[in-house]
Amino acid sequence: MRNLIGLISKFHAFLIFLGLQVLALYILFANNNYHNSEFNHQSSDLVGYIYGKRSQMSEYWRLGEINDQLSLDNAKLRSQRAENFYTQRSVVDTLRDTSMTMRYTYRPAKVVNYSVNREQNFVYLTLDRGSIGDLKPEMGVISHGAIVGKVVSVSNHFAVVMPVLHKDFRASVKHKKTGFNGYLLWRGRDPNIADVIEITRSAPVAVGDTIVTTGFSAYFPKDLMVGIVERIEDDKDFHLLKVRLSADFTKLDYVEVISDLMHDEQKQLEQEVENATNTSN
Amino acid sequence: MLQTLLINTVRLLFLILLQSLVVSRMSSLNGLILPWVYIFGILMLPFSTPRWLLLCISFVVGLLMDYFTGPLGLHTSACVVLGFAQPIVQRLLAPREGYDASQRPTLQRMGFAWYTTYAGVLTLIHHTWLFFLEVYRFSDFFFQVLHIIMSAAVTLLLMIIGQYLIYNSKSTEL
């Protein structure tokens, strides 16, 4: 017995080390699931608050740049106003347009924390809007018209976004000129370049062409800017396009969150069809 | 005693905030260099710190760091390794007459060569553990090794600069 106690007291540091190390690794691997809890502590209100303060401070240094971007956006929007257009016809229709129903709405949000250039598993963005601001998981996020990512987790006041720069991110995209479909994914460590795969070799793609979203996936409307083809590395059947992303992930500030008003309806219908097919088999 | 406790606590908290709010923002060369200077707070703990306490402090510091950056458990694990290795490295580097109980491992007290070896070895251990745990897999081995060496070198450099900035040779031992 005395020997045992002697042994324990001799190796107590090693035993404590072993205990704490097992605990740490348990915490790490038990939480190793993107959607469940990996990022929940980062949308927790205290850490979110501290990051919010930090972002407030660093924002001052970038006010000039942000102003430039805003005035550019203003000018763009102003030029699209109705009074700027010359009316071709002299008779103006007075019919109310009932053939259009609003589908997508946009909410502004601010990025309070981000990390790019880290190992690819842990890139994320935190927004300063959460479930109180009507944000939900699965909503698309864009910045100045270019896609940024999708919301994966929300707390009351914060939301965490899986950006394009994450190994699990996928989006359905197309070659704007010809309309051929492919998939967008990111597997490098360069935060400016993403890959587009599965566009068929027969599509005439050239360097400098534009890649946009298709609107197939529920979170982005169609024809949102994705990026510009920078390099073409082909394999046997498909193009492999290296695309320079239009959103600059190293300096995101204000983003817009897209909510699809018909998301539930579409999902429900697709689910019904799937169930019907399953039962008939 | 109380003063030592207070100063070390404040230093550890300050370094964690400095790390997450300032240093982690400064990325370079496609993410090749990413220094983790918060371990400075653990390296500065007095020689007389009991091993169990050192391990517990490391655990808590790592956990706090995790709340700010990565997934929970990553820095915790790396810090516990650091806390375990620290007394071993100190023993290996001990001068013939041993350490004075009130001494602290500072550059001014222990000399440049001693400090660089001490901090360098421990930084390398911590960063290696951290980075390999972070990617889980060993693909792109060469890049990882370069990443570790460069990051550890910058961490060490920042810690040495920090020592020259904060402590002058006449300052009292805290």
Quote the mean pLDDT of chain B.
82
Axis crossing angle, helix A12-30 with helix B51-68, rounded to the nearest 10? 10
Confidence of residue A38 (pLDDT cuts 50, 70, 90): very low
Contact across the interface for A24 and B62, Cβ inside 8 Å = yes
pLDDT > 70 fraction of chain A, expressed in percent and rounded: 80
**pLDDT surpasses 80 at B57:** yes
**pLDDT surpasses 80 at A141:** yes
Confidence of residue B27 (pLDDT cuts 50, 70, 90): low
Complex ipTM value: 0.78
8 Å CB contact between A57 and B22: no
Per-residue pLDDT tens over the stretch B110-145: 888 888 999 999 999 998 888 878 765 445 677 778
Q: Among A27, A41, A44, whose Cβ lies nearest the Cβ of B76?
A: A27
Contact across the interface for B70 and A122, Cβ inside 8 Å = yes
So what's the pLDDT on residue B69?
A: 75
Encoded tokens for A117: 């250039």
Per-residue pLDDT tens over the stretch A186-245: 876 677 888 888 888 888 888 888 999 988 877 888 888 899 998 888 777 788 888 999
> Which chain A residues contact residue B58 at CB under 8 A?
20
Å from A22 to nearest chain B CA? 8
Confidence of residue A163 (pLDDT cuts 50, 70, 90): confident
Count CB pairs under 8 A between chains A and B.
90
A120 or A151: which leads in pLDDT: A151
Where helices occur in chain A by DSSP H, the ranges are 2-10, 12-30, 45-59, 63-79, 263-280
The residues with which A232 forms a beta bridge, in sequence order, are A241
Quote the mean pLDDT of chain A.
78
So what's the pLDDT on residue B29?
A: 52
What's the DSSP call for residue A226?
Answer: E
Q: For residues B146 and A238, what is the distance between their CA atoms, to the nearest angstrom?
A: 34
B161 or B147: which leads in pLDDT: B161
| pTM higher than 0.90 | no
The mean per-residue pLDDT over the stretch A9-14 comes to 78
A152 or A124: which leads in pLDDT: A152
